[in-house]
């Protein structure tokens, strides 16, 4: 069995999940971790017993034995420079979403990966949700006929929403609906998005990071399919879920409804009342198993590198998602539809909008 040395840069929530998953894998010869917070580094070090633990990601770059790197850093402004340096150092990279904050950054990362013949993917873990994988198979097998419409409604509680919103000034379509844009575009391949119309509503989150509480985006595909995606992060603190999602897919020969609201396991205690555990998007370890998508996604990328198999999420597809949610932000700002791909005039407007928000 071939084994490789692997590193995780950034061992917060998602990076910690990936580090623990890799520490348990027989495919990993040695695990290396990097974290800028000494206390968290010590915590993950105790959990995973890595071969090395460092506060400086450049130590990972200098180690020629490390071939696979998981970049899980926050804030999201760090994604581009750290991933760029890893690719230049000849490492295969899984990068948490978003791929970048600027389209030109995404383009450079894609070019570096191609030139180096390196595996490069983005952490859109929802493709590893069995329900969405089932939807992909049903559509591919033709059970629904031609898909006419897809509707996704995803909501987070405001505790989690605030945690995300405080670290970066990005909208819910960028930070949450991005997952839904990715898996819906995957379901509808080879169709491509050609127009976006988006609206947002302010509320609880506005004083926290200036973002909408919720955004709804209508995306027109080049084959006529209509995609409607809503994402919000303002459910009240008493709401028993971390994340709740509902999906409706209609076609000429059938329909498919996916209930991903995580209400299948109910926990009720005197101390905290009703809770729906295991309802986070990444998932969590439950004793000897992993409940969720991020564990299998982590191992899938490792197998893709070792066996030279295609990655599940190409960086090109992640760029399409990025361009779409960028258009959604511009659409909500202008209160008008925005065509894809983005024109030079639209890109200029996006730059002005981003500059104003900063």
Q: In whole angstroms, what is the distance from residue 310 CA to residue 62 CA? A: 27
SS3 44: helix
DSSP string for residues in 176-187: THHHHHHHHHHH
Min mean pLDDT across 12-21, 83-92, 191-200, 235-244 is at 235-244
Which CATH code of 1.10.8.100, 3.40.50.720, 2.40.270.10, 3.40.600.10 fits the domain covering 4-118+301-312?
3.40.50.720
Q: In whole angstroms, what is the distance from residue 168 CA to residue 271 CA? A: 33
Give ∠ CA 61-124-158 in degrees, rounded to 5.
105
SS3 114: helix
> What's the average model confidence in pLDDT over 86-98?
97
Pure H helices in the chain: 13-23, 38-48, 58-62, 79-88, 103-115, 130-140, 158-167, 172-175, 177-187, 206-209, 294-307, 315-334, 344-357
Residues 9-41: b if buried by 16+ CB within 10 A, e if exposed: bbbbbbbbbbbbbbbeeebbeebbbbbbeeebb
- Classify burial at 128, counting beta carbons within 10 Å of its beta carbon; exposed 0-12, middle 13-18, buried 19 or more: buried
What digits encode the pLDDT tens for the residues 250-301?
Answer: 999 999 999 999 999 999 999 989 999 999 889 999 999 999 999 999 999 9
What pLDDT does 357 receive? 61
What pLDDT does 299 receive? 98
Q: In whole angstroms, what is the distance from residue 118 CA to residue 112 CA? A: 8
Q: What is the pLDDT confidence band of residue 26, given thresholds at 50, 70 and 90?
A: very high
pLDDT value at 73 more than 80: yes
What digits encode the pLDDT tens for the residues 112-169?
Answer: 999 999 999 999 999 999 999 999 999 999 999 999 999 999 999 888 778 777 766 7
28 beta partners: 4
Q: What ranges do the domains of the chain cover?
A: 4-118+301-312, 127-281+319-339
Residue 207 Cα to chain centre, angstroms: 25
Q: Residue 282 has what DSSP assignment?
A: S
- Classify burial at 150, counting beta carbons within 10 Å of its beta carbon; exposed 0-12, middle 13-18, buried 19 or more: buried
pTM: 0.95
Rg (CA), the chain: 20
What digits encode the pLDDT tens for the residues 194-220?
Answer: 999 999 999 998 988 888 999 999 999
What pLDDT does 115 receive? 98
Residues in the chain: 358
The second-level CATH assignment, the architecture, of 127-281+319-339 is 2-Layer Sandwich (3.30)
């Amino acid at each position: 069995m071939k084994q490789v040395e692997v590193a995780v840069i950034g061992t917060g929530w998602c990076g910690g999940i990936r580090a623990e998953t890799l520490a348990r894998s027989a495919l990993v010869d040695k695990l290396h971790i990097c974290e800028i917070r000494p206390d968290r580094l010590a915590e993950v070090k105790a959990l995973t017993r890595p071969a090395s633990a460092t506060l400086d990601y450049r130590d990972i770059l200098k180690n020629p034995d490390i071939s696979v790197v998981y970049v899980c850093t926050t804030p999201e402004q760090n994604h581009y420079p750290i991933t760029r340096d890893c690719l230049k150092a000849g490492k295969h990279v899984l990068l948490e979403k978003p791929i970048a904050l600027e389209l030109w950054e995404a383009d450079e990362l894609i070019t570096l990966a191609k030139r180096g013949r390196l595996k490069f993917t983005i952490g859109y873990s929802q493709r590893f949700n069995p329900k969405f994988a089932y939807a992909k198979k049903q559509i591919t097998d033709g059970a629904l006929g031609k898909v006419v419409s897809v509707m996704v409604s995803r909501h987070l509680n405001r505790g989690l929403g605030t945690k995300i919103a405080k670290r970066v000034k990005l909208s819910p379509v960028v930070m949450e609906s991005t997952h839904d844009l990715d898996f819906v575009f995957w379901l509808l391949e080879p169709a491509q998005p050609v127009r976006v119309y988006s609206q947002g509503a302010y509320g609880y989150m506005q004083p926290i990071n200036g973002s909408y509480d919720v955004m709804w985006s209508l995306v027109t595909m080049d084959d006529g399919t209509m995609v409607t995606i809503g994402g919000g992060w303002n459910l009240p603190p008493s709401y028993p879920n971390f994340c709740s999602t509902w999906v409706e897919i209609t076609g000429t020969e059938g329909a498919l409804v996916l209930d991903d609201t995580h209400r299948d396991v109910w926990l009720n205690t005197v101390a905290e009342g009703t809770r729906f555990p295991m309802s986070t998007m990444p998932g969590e370890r439950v004793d000897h198993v992993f409940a969720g998508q991020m564990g299998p996604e982590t191992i899938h990328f490792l197998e893709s590198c070792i066996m030279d198999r295609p990655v599940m999420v190409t960086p090109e597809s992640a760029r399409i998602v990025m361009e779409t949610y960028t258009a959604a932000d511009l659409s909500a700002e202008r209160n008008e539809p925005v065509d894809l791909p983005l024109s030079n005039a639209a890109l200029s407007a996006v730059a002005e909008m981003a500059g104003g928000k900063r």
